[in-house]
Amino acid sequence: MRSFGNLVLNEWLKLSKKRTFIVAYLIMAAFVAGFAYILSAFSSEPMTAAEFADGIMVKNGLGQIMLYIVIIGTAGIMAREHSMGTVKFLLIRAQSRTKILASKYVTMLIYLLSVMVFTCVLASGLGLLIFSNGAGESSWTDVFASIGYTAIYLVIYSTLTFMFGVLTKSAGATIGIGLFAVMLESLAGMLLGKYEFIKYLVFVNTDFTMYQGGKSPVEGMTPLFSAIVLSIYFVLFLLVSFVTFKRRDIA
């Protein structure tokens, strides 16, 4: 377990040394501060701190921006090892391929979590500083629910992107495919909405906010149904990633 922790630490240090590492946090800070200023200066409706934080953390708030940042920031976590030829040096260590790939995946999740926590803390802090802490349409319970829903959304798409990174060995292709996959979410609803099989697609099940108010986007879909579908896809994405990496011939 200690050796795996060292692998994760090493991957995190490599990621944090990239010039673009700090850019993710600066972008999120700029968005949060910008929205806080605009809403406080120009909104005619009173807003509470919880409403502001909830609006930031929902998937349709800054959730997608966080996803784009994570995709771009971690797309090369595996692909760059191939392009630079350093993957050979990783494999000559006394560590299994499974451990090496798992350490990269865990590092990606830590990066994702750090961006989320940073954004949430900043949004909550600015919300309490600028807006009132009274009762509003959203409570802090709603904020935590939004964080949970957004985390599910980010993990699924990040895992999908991670799989493409292993399959393609190209950071550029991984970013392109990852961003296209995010676009497919809205396209799938528009183009395939009349077909029943749409409820089995991963893109349709990632947004748990669609169940708020007891609504069901497609007949037969429930939160439990979406959780099961996403769990199957999650395992499938990881299985494809690890099987491919273990069987790949590294010349």
Would you kindly state where each structural domain of the chain is located, as residue ranges? 4-249
DSSP letter for each residue of 60-109: IIIIHHHHHHHHHHHTHHHHHHHHTTTHHHHHTSSS-HHHHHHHHHHHHH
Instruction: Report the mean per-residue pLDDT for the chain.
Output: 84
pLDDT the model gives residue 93: 63
The token duo for 5 is 């922790």
Q: How confident is the model at residue 94 (pLDDT cuts 50, 70, 90)?
A: low
Say what the pTM is.
0.88
Q: How confident is the model at residue 187 (pLDDT cuts 50, 70, 90)?
A: confident
Least confident of 10-14, 40-44, 147-151, 227-231: 40-44
Asked whether residue 19 carries a pLDDT value surpassing 90, the answer given is no
What is the share, in percent, of the chain residues with pLDDT greater than 70? 89
pLDDT digits (tens, 9 = 90+) for 28-53: 999 999 999 998 888 777 788 888 99
Give me the residue label for tokens 């953390």. Answer: 57
Rounded mean pLDDT of 187-202?
A: 78
